[in-house]
Amino acid sequence: MVRRSTTSNREDMPLGGLMPVRGILGQVVSDLGRRIVAGEWKTDETLPTETELMDELKVGRSVVRESIRILNAKGLVRSRQMAGTTVMPRAVWRLLDPDLIQWRMQAADRKVLLKDLLQVRLTLEPGVVWAATANGSEAAKARIHAAWQGKIAVLHEESVTPEEQRQHFITHDLEFHRAFLAAVGSEILEQLFSVIEAALSLMIDVQMQARGSTTALVGMEETNQLHQDVYDAFAAGDAEGAERAMRHLIQSAIIDANRGFSLTE
């Protein structure tokens, strides 16, 4: 029978833009994909035969074959006649595939994924903020202003539970960064953010845990000030200042994330 995931609700959330394969086929693809990503089968190791997978997962041959075809398209495996299905090196995996990101979030590979995403952000986001500040349209800049106001409002929310306030903080933090990306006018960048958004949400969780927050907004004054610095430079039309502030913000996030990872080791 297909194994059920034991991960938390947040980690089970489908990624933005993901069009899942549904039904028993989707379950088998996810089961095998998670197991490969988690290292149950190593690079160049052969997966069980079709018959063995049919017996283990309690599915028909067509489901097994289609599942392997999908995993092959994602770069995880390669099937060869007489040689069976082998696991491919990570270098050829489609690492931006939403399913792969989801499976890595659910596996022991999560820490590597989140650290990698922070480096992506450090490389891209300062330039994104510069471009949004220097060249964004009035409508795009209005969205950034609104996103910032929403983010600030969360800190003064009343009549909500600490858990709800914390989730609102994460939602508005993501929208703040998303609004800058949208201002650049690049469909590729927007799609990239859409693909990694669930992982970024989890990464914010790790940062918040490092500051002593597991269920509520605790110790977030410094990170909020770092975001304030980005916004103030943007609002003043200072593209270089906004770029520097965003670089400082993400460098601080890297420190927080490393501290959060050390708490869970």
CATH of the domain at 163: 1.20.120.530
123 belongs to a structural domain: yes
114 shares its domain with 239 = yes
**DSSP element (H, E) containing 115:** helix 110-135
148 shares its domain with 66 = no
130 shares its domain with 259 = yes
pLDDT at residue 98, rounded to an integer: 86
Total domain count, the chain: 2
159 shares its domain with 28 = no
161 shares its domain with 248 = yes
What is the rounded CA–CA span in Å between residue 109 and residue 93? 14
Report residue 7's pLDDT band, with 50, 70 and 90 as the boundaries.
very low
Domain boundary (41, 65, 92) is at 92
- Pick the more confident residue, 205 or 63: 63
pLDDT at residue 1, rounded to an integer: 53
99 belongs to a structural domain: no
Report residue 13's pLDDT band, with 50, 70 and 90 as the boundaries.
very low
Q: With a threshold of 0.75, does the pTM exceed it?
A: yes
122 shares its domain with 212 = yes
Percent of the chain with pLDDT over 70: 85
173 belongs to a structural domain: yes
38 shares its domain with 152 = no
41 belongs to a structural domain: yes
Range of the domain at 159: 109-264
CB atoms within 10 A of CB 257: 21
Percent of the chain with pLDDT over 90: 54
List, for residues 39-96, the tens digit of each pLDDT value: 999 999 999 999 999 999 999 999 999 999 999 999 999 998 878 999 999 999 999 8
In this predicted structure, the answer to whether residue 234 has a pLDDT above a threshold of 80 is yes
103 belongs to a structural domain: no
158 shares its domain with 75 = no
Please tell me the least confidently modeled range out of 23-27, 80-84, 174-178: 80-84
Please tell me the least confidently modeled range out of 116-125, 171-180, 218-227: 218-227
* Cα-based torsion angle of the residue sequence 213, 217, 222, 223 in order, rounded to the nearest 10 degrees: 90
Domain boundary (92, 120, 136) is at 92
2 belongs to a structural domain: no
Domain boundary (31, 61, 92) is at 92
83 shares its domain with 194 = no
What is the rounded CA–CA span in Å between residue 256 and residue 150? 24
What is the rounded CA–CA span in Å between residue 112 and residue 133? 32
118 shares its domain with 227 = yes
Question: What average pLDDT score do residues 229-244 get?
Answer: 98
83 shares its domain with 129 = no
In this predicted structure, the answer to whether residue 150 has a pLDDT above a threshold of 60 is yes
71 belongs to a structural domain: yes
- Pick the more confident residue, 35 or 110: 35
183 shares its domain with 70 = no
pLDDT at residue 2, rounded to an integer: 56
In this predicted structure, the answer to whether residue 220 has a pLDDT above a threshold of 70 is no
Report residue 213's pLDDT band, with 50, 70 and 90 as the boundaries.
low
Q: How far apart are the first and last CA of the chain?
A: 32
CATH for 47: 1.10.10.10
Question: What average pLDDT score do residues 4-27 get?
Answer: 54
CA angle 123, 125, 129 (to 5 degrees): 135
Question: What average pLDDT score do residues 93-118 get?
Answer: 86
- Evaluate whether 133 touches 238 at the Cβ level (below 8 Å): yes
214 belongs to a structural domain: yes
Q: Out of 152-166, 183-197, 207-221, give the one with best mean pLDDT.
A: 183-197
